[in-house]
Structure 1
Amino acid sequence: MEIRVFGFKNDDAATVVQFIAEHVRRDISFGVLPPDSRLKIEDLRQRYGGSAHSFREALTLLANEGIVEASSQRGFRVASASQADLEDVTRLRAEIEGLGLKWSMKHGAVRWEGELIAARHAVDRADRMVMDDIDALALEWDEANREFHAVLVSRCNSPRLIEFQSRLFFESRRFRFAVLKERAIEPERLKDMRNRLVDAVLARNDQQATEALERLILEPFGAPGN
């Protein structure tokens, strides 16, 4: 019997798992699935469709990203999102991305600089547009942010650092969306901080670049960098 989940056939299991994971990830990010809530497989199947096996695989994937917690005795639950969690993930992001940026500045050439300038343009545009329709454009806005920060560390020559940076970015998504929903982001302020960051990168000024990156990561959450 052929089963379809979100329009996919059951012979495309990996795609189904990825698609389920994206839907659950989105609902966690938007608070539809609140912090610390239990993720019961049967309840999720009723909400999204799909097999129990696919959901176990998807939740395991999200657990590896840090936004879901897995326990052999209690199953799965949404990771907590306290003020302490916010401070931990943002400060760690600043440290890891700062290190990755320093390494990228040593190895990145003209092509990397062009990618960074293009990513800055895209995220500046996303900042301006998202304020007109937050619900519809939040994910597009966050993807533009993800791409900009990914480019910053993309030439660091450390796959492990890049993987960890990506995980921390996803872990902090819920906090970014909370700031966005409160309309607490300031597009012109963010644009100015990114300009300072990119200018320092192009000048190959490690200290100014990492300081600007730290401010860019921490300041939107009310924790200015040193």
Structure 2
Amino acid sequence: MIFPLKRNDDETIVNMLASALRRDISFGILMPDQKLKIEALRQRYGGSNHSMRETLRLLSAEGLVEATAQRGFRVTSATEDDLKDIQLVRCEIEKVALALAIENGDVAWEGRVIAAHHALQKAEAVVASDPDDLNALQWDEACRAFSFALIDACGSPRMIDLQRKFFDQSRRFRLALLREGRIEFEQRMVRQKKLLEAVLERDTETAVTILVDDIVADLQA
């Protein structure tokens, strides 16, 4: 088991279990539409019946798991229509959030964006040369961190929450492209550098345009 069963803090257990399941859904270890049985998940990941059920409810709220009437839980589907819908929602949310962040962000925010971009560029260079699971996981987390840093000065906790939810739903599509060798890293790095420059110059129109292009390219390489 990944986690010991004896823990006093139920919330901590649920968060740890959710992180493990979220990762395995993103990497395709838990496949789209796969049924998720509590006992089998407990044997694999640890936790109690209660903590695993709460974990699945949390992932259901995030859109990664679906609860079916009297049929338990299953991994959410990953069809072409799902991809298009996630892409649409991400573009609309992140356009507004980035514009607000550029308007409201201070020097400290700029520093966080620069740091996240630097970490992403390093992760991209590593995974491009050796896309093993560990490097892929570190690259995926760097993508996530840069995406979040761009909008975290938008001033809307609800918008940030929505962006995180739909970003997490998009991760398995991007990781599938990575496994298939279909990501153009040089183009990504150029795009992200231009995006950073536009953000630092407070050029909202250019930044938003590049961001949308990056989201589309990121999911349909």
Taking structure 2 as the reference length, the TM-score comes to 0.94
Q: Which 10-residue stretch deviates more, 159-168 or 66-75?
A: 66-75
Tell me the residue number matched to 2:93.
96
Tell me the residue number matched to 1:174.
172
Q: Output the CA distance in 2 between the equivalents of 1:127 and 1:22.
A: 22
Q: Output the CA distance in 1 between the equivalents of 2:116 and 2:47.
A: 36
Q: What RMSD in Å do the two structures reach over aligned CA positions?
A: 1.6
Tell me the residue number matched to 1:68.
65
Q: Is the contact made by 2:5 and 2:47 (CA closer than 8 Å) also made in structure 1?
A: no
Match for 1:110 among 93, 99, 107? Answer: 107
Tell me the residue number matched to 2:217.
219
Tell me the residue number matched to 2:39.
42
Q: Give 1:187 shift.
A: 2.1
Q: Output the CA distance in 1 between the equivalents of 2:145 and 2:2.
A: 29
Q: Output the CA distance in 1 between the equivalents of 2:193 and 2:66.
A: 37
Give the 4+ runs in structure 1 shifted more than 4 A: none
Gaps of 5+ in 2: none
| Structure 1 segment 176-215 matched on structure 2, within 5 A | 176-215=174-213
Q: Output the CA distance in 1 between the equivalents of 2:124 and 2:203.
A: 26
Q: Output the CA distance in 2 between the equivalents of 1:46 and 1:9.
A: 14
Q: Which 10-residue stretch deviates more, 129-138 or 54-63?
A: 129-138
Q: Is the contact made by 1:104 and 1:152 (CA closer than 8 Å) also made in structure 2?
A: yes
Q: Output the CA distance in 2 between the equivalents of 1:110 and 1:46.
A: 48
Q: Output the CA distance in 1 between the equivalents of 2:202 and 2:110.
A: 11
Residue type matched to 2:141 in 1? Answer: E
Match for 1:123 among 120, 124, 129? Answer: 120
Q: Give 1:220 shift.
A: 2.8
Inter-CA distance 33–49: structure 2 relative to 1 (3 Å threshold):
same
Q: What percentage of aligned pairs have identical amino acids?
A: 48
Residue type matched to 2:180 in 1? Answer: E
Tell me the residue number matched to 1:81.
78
Deviations 1:185-220 (A, max 9, x none): 222211110111111112222111100000111113
Q: Give 1:14 shift.
A: 1.6
Q: Give 1:19 shift.
A: 1.5
Deviations 1:100-122 (A, max 9, x none): 00000111122211211111111
Residue type matched to 1:187 in 2? Answer: F
Q: Give 1:5 shift.
A: 6.8
Deviations 1:119-157 (A, max 9, x none): 111111111111314212222111111111111111111
1:15 paired to 2:8: no
Q: Output the CA distance in 1 between the equivalents of 2:198 and 2:40.
A: 50
Q: Output the CA distance in 2 between the equivalents of 1:44 and 1:143.
A: 24
Q: Which 10-residue stretch deviates more, 136-145 or 59-68?
A: 136-145
